[in-house]
Structure 1
Amino acid sequence: MSDQGNSRSSIHAFATWEPLLRLLRAENAERLAVPGGRVVGRITRNSWSVPLRQMYNDGVQRVHDILVKDDINAVTFVMETETSGRTRLHLLLSSRAVELGVGFNPGALVLVEDALPEPWRRLPEPTPGAVPAPSADPALLERTVRGRLPGAVGATEAEIAAAESRLGTALPEELKALYRVTRAEWADWRGDYEAASRHSEAVRCELFNLEGLYIAGAATRECPWYQAAMEAVETPPSAAVQGLAGSPGWIAFGDNGGGDRLAVDLTPGPRGHIGQVVLISHEEDIGARLLADSLTDLMLDRPATEPGGAEPHAPAATSFAYDQESLGSAVHSGLEALTLGARGGHPVSLAPLMGRPRLRSLSAQPGTLADPTEIGGLTGLEYLELGSQEWGALLDADAVPQGLLAAAVNGPFDEDPLAVAGLANELLALWGRPRITQTLVEGDLGPQV
């Protein structure tokens, strides 16, 4: 059910919703009694937002179970009811072209199949002068870890070679030396959690087994379009680590126990070393932090050597503006992503952005643009986020940039989700993408007692 519009699903049956609708009517009677009064909510396979004092209940669970059974990611609903009990339920089922959004509105509309934001397409820059750190010493590493883990079961050369074949790359000598000491298999600890804890202490991380090793490319770092498009890859000349979302040269080999990955870095920054150890934070969307100049240093608790040298100031590739003056200050030839906020209270002209060769992402809050149709002149945009009125003006003027890869409707939390879905469908239709399915389900709850 790739487009989540299967009319045969019982998600479209009034009986499926009836227990939840009765609860919603009882707790939102005043709101529903007002002319045009509605109740709005969303249920996904992982969460739910419904206007009830106790959000989790059998009615929600009933809908949730059908979402799981029918492979539907989420459903947004709008409920209207009369005093007689006659009830109209509008259902919005998203498509594979629409990411899950915040609140009740859709997230980013992916206008081109499998399109990724530019920072997620970026590959590492070559660093031809990079070499392993002087501290890299596979033999010392092996002796150190063997001393901490006497009797550990190491991986065979055949097992290491199989891991290299699976990954499509050779493992660095330090990493192979580590696995020759311990293959980090749970079975070797015979269910002893204390033994597993001692193992992690000895190797300074929760070491993956050879099957768990993976290349931490950008695809492994999931991030919604609306966030990823506003990031930028920035690697200063003095950086030890390239500011990438992921790299084919980051071999993830462990976890710090808090969800952050440790990786051996084979594509270092201008001042880094081949084989240095980096931390890929689960709380950050892009970049990695240098932990140690070598895997040997990590095992011996030696701090990383911070690159020296003064860093020349360079304008940020991502910026924020809130009035005409701050917009003028934010614009430069290297600007890639711009957010326009409403703090200034005065709509701005986009004239300063014209002809900027690297501008690819623009997010403008509702009411911030003096003339939304100026966006038609920003031919390099691949991501655009606007309010409903601004999108309407662009559509009316036939000025939607044709090079967009993704777009988003930026509206208030209480904006009519049916209207937003209709607007989103207009944009999806321009690219021939699967649309949000809108279904009206009607039934009778009877008079409220």
Structure 2
Amino acid sequence: MSALYEFALWEPLLRLVRASNTSALAAPGGYVRGHVGVGSWSVPVHRPSPPRGQAAQVEDMQEEWDAVHAVIGALMEAGAGRVEFVLESAPDGGTTLRLYGPHPHVEPGYGGPQGGALLLVDDAVPEPWRRLPEPAPDVLPAPTADPGELERLLRERLPDATGATEEELAATEARIGVALPGELRSLYGVVRGNWEDWEDDYDAADRAYGVVGCELLPLDHVYVADASTRPAPWQFGAKDAVVTRPGDAVQGVVGSPGWIVFGGNGGGDAVALDLTPGPAGHLGQIVLLGHEAHVGAELLADSLTDLVRDGEREESRVRRDRLPEVAYVNHSAVRSVEDAAHPALEVLSLGVCDGEPFSLAPVVGLPRLRTLSAYPGTLAEPREIGGLTGLEYLELPPEYWRSLLDAGAVPRGLLAAAIEPDGARERHHPLDLVALANEILALFGRPPITPTVLEGDLGPAPA
């Protein structure tokens, strides 16, 4: 058995947690919860405040650091990325630790040991990830697109660059399954982007990036940014929508077989040549795929020649109107379900509102409604959800799930579901949330979430 599941590994951390939560643990039914992951952790341990004007230092939390990193080391050895825990410890030292690790049908999440979205159908992805770009047969390359002019500019500005051979270009086309457009062939024919070509000369690399207008990927790193390259958890992805308006230069899809990524902006965003532009765009335009967004891209230049000659256009980012496909009903946005109801509505999120809870009657029968998220106290009758037969994703607080399960009204077409953690952490024991998640999983024939239970003795709690 992995060291991850040995009480001795956890004991230093548990002692720190107990010392910081003596009252909570001593109360009837008392517990504390947290998680440790390879990249981050959240444990309920008191940390001393640093002196005024000074940032916290590792030395200020050395015990916590050492205890947590012992667990992280075991996580890495076990090939696990994250583990949730629920701790119960009696005043005499008797301790029960429940560990909830990866589950094949539960996405990682921050709501507690019940995890994030429950995956109810194998290999299902949110609807936007199933959408391809629409044909735009009338779009043409920009008048400025000129492979010959682009090559001349590049050779003039990068006279010592090393270009790719025809064999290297052909190998890239075979690897990505797309013929490289003329401008990309001209670009890589002059500068192929390999680090060894600059002989560890950072200034030379920076000059090349400055000329091209982005941090150029080596030719053998060029890739097609289809939907699989922009994964998102269901709790975010199901609330997006693919929308392309008649005046859009870039299609609002997650990914495209025509987005050929050849560079980046140095901040985590990808730069691509676009072969599937929107109705108002140009074939071969240059777009930016933001790493903080899952849908769409922003126009940088009408052509690669433009990008090299003139740089990125100013104020290219477009504010997108999410209505009527996506509606947030709350006190500062759409004020009622009636106002949100529209034949194009796909995503309905109910948040904090002034006034009475909502009825879902206005959206029953809408042909495209696939996602519903409801905050506690927003629904007058949760069982109305049973009439929304087209739902693929449902996110509800525990009490609404209880109503649906008791009434046998859970929509059976769901692909994924989540127990909304907001407002529930203090009112619901985490083990109760796990039990609720298991009821939902069982309804769709999925195995339950089961903890690894470790028993030990921490000795009497300090007075």
Same fold per TM (> 0.5)?
yes
Shift of 1:40: 1.1
One of 444, 450, 454 as aligned partner of 1:441: 454
Shift of 1:103: 4.3
Could you say what secondary structure the match of 2:310 adopts? coil
Could you say what secondary structure the match of 1:278 adopts? strand
1:236-277 per-residue CA deviation (whole Å, 9 max, x = no partner) reads 101111011111110000001111111000000011111000
Q: Give distance in 1, aligned partners of 2:67 and 2:16.
A: 8
Residue 67 of structure 2 aligns with which residue? 59
One of 431, 452, 460 as aligned partner of 1:418: 431
Residue 50 of structure 2 aligns with which residue? none
1:198 aligns with 2:211: no
The letter of the residue matching 1:16 is: L
Distance 1:204 1:348, change over 3 A: same
RMSD between superposed Cα atoms in Å: 2.0
1:44 aligns with 2:37: yes
Q: Give distance in 2, aligned partners of 1:418 and 1:438.
A: 10
Q: Give distance in 2, aligned partners of 1:328 and 1:371.
A: 16
Residue 73 of structure 1 aligns with which residue? 81
Q: Give distance in 2, aligned partners of 1:286 and 1:252.
A: 16
Distance 1:444 1:303, change over 3 A: closer
Residue 53 of structure 2 aligns with which residue? none
Could you say what secondary structure the match of 1:333 adopts? coil
Q: Give distance in 2, aligned partners of 1:280 and 1:395.
A: 41
Q: Give distance in 2, aligned partners of 1:367 and 1:68.
A: 41
The letter of the residue matching 1:365 is: Y
Alignment of 1:230-245 (within 5 A): 230-245=239-254
Shift of 1:121: 0.9
Residue 33 of structure 1 aligns with which residue? 26
Q: Give distance in 1, aligned partners of 2:174 and 2:37.
A: 39
Q: Give distance in 1, aligned partners of 2:65 and 2:455.
A: 22
Residue 3 of structure 1 aligns with which residue? none
1:153 aligns with 2:180: no
Residue 294 of structure 2 aligns with which residue? 285
1:369 aligns with 2:362: no
Residue 4 of structure 1 aligns with which residue? none
Alignment of 1:158-197 (within 5 A): 158-197=167-206
Gaps of 5+ in 1: 1-7, 308-312
1:136/1:297 contact within 8 Å kept:
yes
Shift of 1:306: 10
Alignment TM-score, normalising by the size of structure 1: 0.93
1:315/1:332 contact within 8 Å kept:
no
Distance 1:335 1:151, change over 3 A: same
Q: Give distance in 1, aligned partners of 2:249 and 2:286.
A: 11
Q: Deviation above 6 Å: which 4+ runs of structure 1?
A: none
2:327/2:349 contact within 8 Å kept:
yes
Q: Give distance in 2, aligned partners of 1:304 and 1:293.
A: 9
The letter of the residue matching 2:32 is: V
Q: Give distance in 2, aligned partners of 1:69 and 1:36.
A: 33
Shift of 1:303: 6.0
Shift of 1:231: 0.7
Could you say what secondary structure the match of 1:300 adopts? helix
Q: Give distance in 1, aligned partners of 2:296 and 2:263.
A: 17
Could you say what secondary structure the match of 1:237 adopts? coil
Gaps of 5+ in 2: 48-60
One of 343, 353, 366 as aligned partner of 2:353: 343
Could you say what secondary structure the match of 1:143 adopts? helix
Distance 1:303 1:50, change over 3 A: closer
Q: Give distance in 2, aligned partners of 1:110 and 1:301.
A: 47
1:67-107 per-residue CA deviation (whole Å, 9 max, x = no partner) reads 11112232211111112111111222230211111242511
Shift of 1:305: 10
Residue 391 of structure 1 aligns with which residue? 401
Could you say what secondary structure the match of 2:162 adopts? coil
Shift of 1:118: 0.6
2:353/2:378 contact within 8 Å kept:
no
Could you say what secondary structure the match of 1:440 adopts? strand
Q: Give distance in 2, aligned partners of 1:314 and 1:407.
A: 23
2:335/2:353 contact within 8 Å kept:
no
One of 82, 95, 100 as aligned partner of 1:87: 95
Alignment of 1:91-130 (within 5 A): 91-105=99-113, 106-130=115-139
The letter of the residue matching 2:284 is: G
Shift of 1:204: 1.0
1:97/1:435 contact within 8 Å kept:
no
The letter of the residue matching 1:239 is: D
- Paired-residue identity, %: 55
Shift of 1:325: 5.7
1:197-245 per-residue CA deviation (whole Å, 9 max, x = no partner) reads 1111111111001111010111111211111111111111011110111
Shift of 1:56: 4.2
* Number of aligned residues: 438
Greater Cα shift, 202-211 or 34-43:
34-43
Could you say what secondary structure the match of 1:88 adopts? strand
Residue 320 of structure 1 aligns with which residue? 328
Q: Give distance in 2, aligned partners of 1:436 and 1:56.
A: 28
Q: Give distance in 2, aligned partners of 1:368 and 1:274.
A: 46
Q: Give distance in 1, aligned partners of 2:83 and 2:458.
A: 21
